[in-house]
Amino acid sequence: MKGRLITLEGGEGAGKSTVLTALRERLAARGLDVVVTREPGGTPFSEAARALMLDPAYRGICAESELLLAFAARAQHVRELIVPALAAGRWVLSDRYTDASYAYQGGGRGQPLERIAALEAWAAPVQPDLTLLLDLPVAQGLARAGARGAADRIESEGAEFFERVRSAYRERAAQQPARFRIVDASQPVDVVRTAAIAHIDAFLDAAGVGA
């Protein structure tokens, strides 16, 4: 049986890492062969593109370069890791995917959504089966993320940028309710983790995956 692609999205300080670990453990506990990956990243070339994309030395690069770099990393990730894993029956859990380009480069940088859709259709046509969006107020997320120390190039953006990112994520979730589950990430981390696991369990039950 072909595997599934599950993606995790959210703004800064949403608790993605904690939830990612919990989801990986849950999928494995339910007998699935899980591959955890991330974007930008997941292959040697894509990780190099990530380093370039987040390097504060390139503050001020144009939005077009940023968008193309995200898709250059993704095109390789899809072909080298995601498609072969799914074909082998593995379940791929990705920390961010194409929705992040709609949110950050579309919402945040103002790149036209049709342009992103065209890139997606050409370079990364694999769609997630399920996407969990960890949503929380920008100020709360930035306060949490700020406690982590040195900011990368994108983390250094201001609150208005992240407000646009959040709105774009929420808009996409509203447009595609069958694929998205929104988790209120303003709650304590234990509650967020439990809510995320409940969504995964419901998805697995619906997919007929054994307990």
Among 93, 132, 154, 204, binds ligand TMP (CB under 6 A): 154
Q: Which of 26, 96, 164, 193 binds ligand TMP (CB under 6 A)?
A: 96
x-marked contacts with ligand TMP along 108-147 as a string, rule CB under 6 A: ----------------------------------------
Q: Contact 203/128 with Cβ under 8 angstroms? A: no
Q: Interior CA angle at 119 toward 55 and 138, to 5°?
A: 50
Q: Quick one: 104 or 180, whose CB is closer to ligand TMP?
A: 104
Closest CA to 183 of 5, 35, 3, 11: 11
Task: Compute the least distance from the CB of residue 86 to ligand TMP, in Å.
Answer: 18
Which one-letter DSSP state was computed for residue 81?
A: I
Contact 46, 123 (CB under 8 A): no
Region near ligand TMP per CB under 6 A, out of 35-43, 133-141, 181-189, 197-205: 35-43
Q: Do 90 and 44 form a contact (C-beta atoms < 8 A)? A: no
Q: Which residues sit at the interface with ligand TMP, rule CB under 6 A?
A: 38-40, 70, 96, 100-101, 104-105, 154-155
